[in-house]
A and B are shown apart, each in its own frame.
Chain A
Amino acid sequence: MSDIFANWQGASKIVDSEKAIRWGAVYVAMARGRESFKWWVPMLTYGIGHPVLYLISIGIGLGSIVAETQGLVDGVPYMVFLAPALLMASALQAAVDETSFAILQGFEWEKGFYAMNQTSVASKQIATGIMYYAAFRVFFNSLIYAVILAMFGAMTWEAIPGQLAIAMLVGMSFGFAMLTYSSFIAGEGDWLVLAMRFIIAPMFMFSGTFYQLETMPELVQNLAWVSPLWHATELARSLSYGSSDPYTLWHIVILVAIGVVSATIVYPQFVRRMAK
């Protein structure tokens, strides 16, 4: 029988501290992945089912009414107009999944972040590791989504790389924002539920996902500027079918700014909270 005492060599022989410290965030991401892949069947089903159901119900169902009454939207068939927006919404949702309740679980419910922090993993690396895995999730989800959209003819195959780039941009941007928000929450997570209901759900409705924002009152149009999803959707539409958009640079700048500002808040917050 293998015996722990007989084979004992000591940490100074078996642990390469430099290596452990260098790759800490990657180990965190891999641990997140292992946990999350316990749910790969529902994850994959949802990843495929969501676009398919939306495309059939809204794209084809609602699309046929739109075609009858209005013809083209933004110069293209409704499904083509809808596709980039759906893709961005799903990218944002994937990022939210990885940066909301999982954070509360790590800090509060299971205290897994403290377990990581007992090892050579530093507090900041936990935040980075979570974002690495969120990036993977956003990419993986968006890839499946985009392929399905292309199969339905709602998007060209050539458009996919550009769409993935914007999906990653909004995923990381809002992912960092959500991570920041979640990192301040204690207890049962009521504040997270509130954010889901009053920030994230309305964002899906008022970011021009299902209709052109120009049809809305000016107030709603102006509000869209604070919605990362709207910026991403605008970018994605202009890249997908070349919708005219005078604000391309602004969209990018704002999305990057949301991510950078959030990151400058969340890292010190992780250090503070872990050291409490």
Chain B
Amino acid sequence: MSEKLILALPSKGRLMEQCATALARAGLSVAKSGSVRGYRGEIAELPDVEVNFVSSSEIAHFLQQGTVHLGITGEDLVRETIPDCEARVSFLKRCGFGHADVVVAVPICWIDVGSMADLEETSLIYRRVHGRPIRVATKYMNLTRRFFAQRGVAGYRIVPSLGATEGAPAADLAEVIVDITTTGATLRANGLKVLSDGVILKSQANLIASKLASWSDGARQVKAAMLARLSCWDWEPSAPPQSKR
């Protein structure tokens, strides 16, 4: 990878459309190159940028490994995927779209549970009655472990969930979930509520640089040119998630 800068963008869904719109607002027109169904693209105004269209979670992996220089993806995925996140990537700009909160949610009928401390105490009784720890369904295993450890909640087990996590309690697959929500409507429709101190991360899409990519002088210049274009995105880079209660 000599002088080109590789930018990874989401390959599908709303995030892909929102990326294209936001880049267009900055005067950057992204176009797929080669075959119509291809996963490569280019930016007419920045010829030294090579665009890779990949899934949002793969973007986090690529940033971690340094196989791409820059990427736009959800902060939640990056913090979940990359254990020592601050050492491997820099959050350059918040994009102002792709908002989602990663939250801890429990059944609304648990009228005795409103906080993480309640949850911990509940888990003691649950273990005594059921002979096993409370199960937490999530695809955010690392975010969940870090957050639960910070809040002193230990009596639980994670059940990996790859989709429709909000249905896990009703299906008796888990008692608690950690999932993303924007309005909370899906959670409510599934009989769930967010704990009062159960917001793990207020996430949105970010422009992120990999510290491990091979940053040639050329790539640095392209990055500077691109950031200059994006100065119309007025958002500050994301602050690290709160680590104290």
A binds B: no
B residues touching A (Cβ–Cβ < 8 Å)?
Answer: none
A residues touching B (Cβ–Cβ < 8 Å)?
Answer: none
